[in-house]
Amino acid sequence: MSKELIDVYVCVFPIVLLSALAEGLWFTFRGPKGFDWKSWACSLGDVVGRSAMMLFPYTLVGPLFVVAYQHRLFTLAPDSIANVLLLIVGLEFCYYWYHRAAHTVRWFWMSHSVHHSPNELTLAAAYRLGWFGKLSGTTVFFAPLVFLGFEPKIVLSALLLNLLYQFWLHAEWIPKLGWLEYVLNTPSGHRVHHARNPEYLDANFGGVLIVFDRLFGTYVEERDEVKYDFGLVSRMETHNPFIINFSPWIGLVRDLASARSPREAWMYLFAAPGWRPDGQGLTAKEIRARGTLQHPVEAHPVPAQAIMT
């Protein structure tokens, strides 16, 4: 990431924190249902822990970026309108597939589930991103942009700007935005994404744009008659950031230890979150088929992090 973008981040992030604080104060004194300050503090604790993890120079994808850029097809820079548009649309395309995989492949869900652990959608939830994203290698989805010809620091800087855009999407109080709903990812569309209702599972994966969801059939519109229910399918009631970050990995280790074949171990790693060998799990497909979040009585229990959208 370029020094300029780091400077932007350092300047902008305090504004992000203050905005989340202001939202909490508003709902505490003026809101109809109060505010969950424990959840707010948990998100702040997640930021502190993630910042501490930055001190460890581990990464799974860094070497891949180096190789991809060494063998790049072209040499591209955001020095023209055409290249800027290519970077924006290309990044959005890669982000869509990263985000979709983060919900449909358990290995990537391990780190992403932290973001969906709050049981209310607030601005503070936007920066609860987990501690182990570098361990799971999620940035591999952006390597094609490096192979195409953009420098790794340019790609990562553009990704940072994409994530900063998404901050305001976590405001439950912003209404639908008319025709913008057809092009941009909006708070309305993102409420659908964070809801655990069977009607809303695994939808609206875009970052800034919503066009790829519409193109690939994953767009779901907000419905007035469906009351949102936020949080993991198997709710995470704790506000302890250590438990929230480590429990998905502990659950995975336990499942791998119980695997009766290499195929089962593979499926526990890379099948949809909530997958069980007997087909009676809590994957999004199974939940939609049943029309309920309830697990069949005869099925095996699943970890608390099983699945969410």
Q: What is the pLDDT of residues 177-195, one digit of tens each?
A: 999 999 999 999 999 999 9
CB atoms closer than 10 angstroms to residue 244? 26
Per-residue pLDDT, 4: 59
pLDDT of 268-307, one tens digit each? 999 999 999 998 888 999 999 888 777 654 333 333 333 3
Report the percent of the chain where pLDDT is more than 90.
78
Task: Say if residue 308's pLDDT is above 50.
Answer: no
Lowest mean pLDDT among 12-16, 98-102, 218-222, 296-300: 296-300
Q: What's at 303, amino acid-wise?
A: P
- The mean pLDDT value for 13-17 works out to 93
Q: Is the pTM of this model over 0.75?
A: yes
Residue 130, Ramachandran bin (φ over 0: left; ψ between -120 and 50: alpha; else beta): left
- Answer whether 126's CB lies under 8 Å from 170's CB: yes
Task: Say if residue 167's pLDDT is above 90.
Answer: yes
Residue 209 sits at φ, ψ, to 5 deg, of -100, 155
**Averaged confidence pLDDT in the chain:** 91
Q: What is the largest CA-CA distance in the chain?
A: 60
pLDDT of 44-68, one tens digit each? 999 999 989 878 767 777 889 999 9
Task: Say if residue 309's pLDDT is above 60.
Answer: no
